[in-house]
Chains A and B, each alone.
Chain A
């Protein structure tokens, strides 16, 4: 990444959304519980094949899921099912 060519920097930011705050908090809480480390989280982010297509917190959530499944805390299926339920409640994805 460092030293690669790059375009102009977008100096505006976006307002942090609630789900992003939650992604941050869940990651910290899992870290505080010793369920995974920052280094594992970074490794999981780096492993994402669609790294460049995701926003910063999207990568966080994807990495959190990878680690929770890897460690047998949750399964991909139950996360997928619950996500679908929530999206339905919200009126469709």
Chain B
């Protein structure tokens, strides 16, 4: 059963009015203020997979930063002004030629929101949460990625106070790319581990 049905224009969830009602009541009773609610909205809007891509691209180019990222994720994010205020730990796990990491939260949908923002719908789905731990390779196949048999797949179930992100391997043929161009190759799916970064655009042939 799918966890979420896309809302059509004409079908509004009954919970839409409910949360508006809750908001109105909380503001009227001074339990919350308008600026606090706005801050809550801005906080999430400011966070996205682009932050993760930046961390990865910087790590690919700078070994010291990479060491920091792998030993103290929050310090690395703070160094790039990402303000990861959430109390949970942020741990980055590295893919290598013999290891591929996959992140899941079977119990709910824990995700490094303080860095990456909201998780995608599929990450929160019952299908992903139930299957990623049991058949990670089949799940990755659905995202178009197949790790070779000689690569170990490590699944991390975020069951407690740690949030995980993957540091994917740098694609080959990217020696000439700068940090921004590298960051563009790092997809959200690669940061969760269901896939790997994009390959660089093939160079335009001289005679084209």
Q: Interface of A with B (CB < 8 Å)?
A: 1-14, 16-17, 19, 21-30, 32-33, 35, 42, 45, 52, 54-58, 61-62, 64-65, 68, 73-74, 78-79, 82-83, 85-87, 90, 93
Q: Interface of B with A (CB < 8 Å)?
A: 1-7, 12-26, 29, 31-32, 36-41, 43-45, 104, 106-109, 118, 120-122, 124-131, 133-134, 139, 142-143, 157
Inter-chain contacts of A9 with B (CB < 8 A): 122, 125, 127-128, 131, 139, 142-143
Across the interface, name the chain B residue whose C-beta is closest to A19. Answer: B16
CB pair A22–B37 under 8 Å, yes or no, is yes
CB pair A14–B4 under 8 Å, yes or no, is yes
Inter-chain contacts of A78 with B (CB < 8 A): 25
Inter-chain contacts of A83 with B (CB < 8 A): 14, 17-18, 20-21
- Give chain B's interface secondary structure class: helix
- Determine the distance from Cα of A32 to Cα of B85 in the docked complex, in whole angstroms: 11
Write the nearest CB–CB distance from B25 to chain A, whole angstroms.
Answer: 5
CB pair A16–B118 under 8 Å, yes or no, is yes
Inter-chain contacts of A6 with B (CB < 8 A): 126-131
- 5 new A-B pairs (CB below 8 Å) besides A7-B1, A19-B20, A45-B108? A4-B130, A21-B44, A24-B44, A56-B3, A79-B18
- Determine the distance from Cα of A13 to Cα of B32 in the docked complex, in whole angstroms: 31
CB pair A28–B40 under 8 Å, yes or no, is yes
Inter-chain contacts of A87 with B (CB < 8 A): 14, 17
CB pair A22–B15 under 8 Å, yes or no, is no
Write the nearest CB–CB distance from B35 to chain A, whole angstroms.
Answer: 10
- Determine the distance from Cα of A2 to Cα of B18 in the docked complex, in whole angstroms: 31
